[in-house]
Every structure is written in structure tokens, then in C-alpha cells.
Amino acid sequence: MYYFAYGINVNADIMGKKGLFFLERRVGRLVGYRLTFNKQNLRPQLPEGVGFANIVEASEGTVEGVVYRLPQGVRSKLDRLERSPEHYRPIEVSVATDEATVVCTTYQAQPDRTAEGLIPSRNYINHMAASGVFSADYRRELEARQVYSGQCATCQRDTGVIFHKEAGRMYVLCPPCLEAKRIWGDVLGRALTVIDTEAVMRHVRRADKAYESIPDLIADAVELGLLDGPQARGSDDSAHR
């Protein structure tokens, strides 16, 4: 079967993680529809204002995505992963590729599973953009979309945030703090938890001095007891990063 993906499934890595292995992958354009994010989310850990991708008919619209050729017998698994028919319904569409126009199955949200005013998370947009399949204009429009904002768990700024799951709990972190968490963990030699990162950020905000390097900052945090030393290993080492 041919399947047209327009949301995070445009990312081949996401397809692999879902166990949806494909025989062929082509860039495709669906004319007569536009992309929206008005699908209500299914995850209780996410705020109600976060929406997932959907397509709606629009005479002047075009949706860019990926045409996958899938092995036989995958349809039932795809339906299950797309929560069909309760949340999304399968529809047939004609998608233009560089080689030919292909009749594909895609999924459109059921009307009673949509809502006005929903916006995507930064995670969702990042997964889509990382696919590398979109035209420059389409990608610019995608990355310019309003994304969910909240208070970062580490720096306490209100900004666009990324949802980060750690030790069974969902946190919201701004992209700079999430990157700092990763870098500081690399310097320290172990994974930093969100709580670790928040302690360092609080120290950075309060410290009345400049640091010449990240290792200097980490050394100071260790000396002050904000972080365990490089050789320390706690139960949080397995936390997701």
C-alpha cells in the first residue's frame, strides 16, 4: 500500500521507532488541502492546548509530505497507531511525486476530535523539520508557526518550550536549557537531571561573576555541592536526555 504522511511520520526515524518499516520513500505534494494542528492530543501528560497535525480541504492549499510504499499486512498496524477510526479516519488522496501521481491512503482527524485554538509543540515541529523533505519555503512556514509556550522548569522563563520526559515525569524546558543540560552533562561525565540543571541555572542567575568556560562553571557547581562530582553515580544516571 501507499501511505502519505504529513505530520511527524514524515521523519523516517519516527517511522522506524513505531515499527513501520517501508519499502520505498518519496517526497510528495498533496494539492487541495492545507496543514493544520487542530487535532486534540491523546496524552494526559500534555497540556490541553497542544494540537497534533491534521489536513483540511482548501482549494488553494498544498501539503508537503512523504509517500511511503509499505509491505502487505501493515494496514491494520497503521490504523491502530493512527487511532483509526476513533480519532483519525483513512481517506484516499492523489499525491504528486517527482516520478508520478500516486493514489495513497492518508489520515484525517475526525471532526469531533478537533478543536479551535490548538497549537503544536516545539518537539512536534522539530521532528517534522528534521525529516529534510520539505521545500525551503514550506520549512520556513513550518518553523515560523506559533508553538506552545510555558514556563521553563529550569530557568523559569515564559517561552516556547520542549516537552522532556524524565523518570516517568513530563517537564517543559526551553531549548537553550535543554541544550545546556546536555552540554553540562557531557562535561561532568554523566547525565544531568532536570533538578540538577535547575540548581545550576539558579546558581548562574545569582552568581556575581563570569565563567570563562563551561568546565569552570561545572567545577564551581560541584564545589558548592549543587552537583555530585564527576565520579559520582546515582540512580538518576539512567534518566532520559
Tell me if 97 sits within 8 A of 26, measured CB to CB: yes
pLDDT for residue 147: 94
- Domain ranges for the chain, please list them: 2-143, 149-238
Phi, psi of 139 (to 5 degrees): -65, -40
According to DSSP, residue 25 is labeled E
* Long-range contacts, stretch 138-147, CB < 8 angstroms, 24+ apart: 138/64, 142/35, 145/37, 145/119, 145/120, 146/119, 147/119, 147/120, 147/121, 147/122
pLDDT in tens, 129-181: 999 999 999 999 999 999 999 999 999 999 989 999 999 899 999 999 999 99
> If you search the block for the grid coordinates 534518566, which residue do you land on?
239
2 and 105 Cβ atoms separated by less than 8 Å: yes
pLDDT on residue 207 = 81
**What is the C-alpha to C-alpha distance for residues 113 and 109, in angstroms, rounded to an integer?**
6
Determine the Cα–Cα distance for residues 199 and 173; give it in Å rounded to an integer: 14
What pLDDT is stored for residue 241 in this prediction?
Answer: 33
pLDDT for the residue numbered 118: 96
Task: Give me the pLDDT at residue 238, please.
Answer: 37
Please list the ranges in the chain whose pLDDT falls under 70: 230-241
Count Cβ atoms below 10 Å from residue 170 Cβ, excluding itself.
Answer: 14
pLDDT value at residue 31: 98
Residues 121 and 165: their CA atoms lie apart, in Å, by 14
The architecture that CATH gives domain 2-143 is: Roll (3.10)
Specify whether the CB–CB gap between 174 and 147 falls below 8 A.
Answer: no
pTM for this entry: 0.80
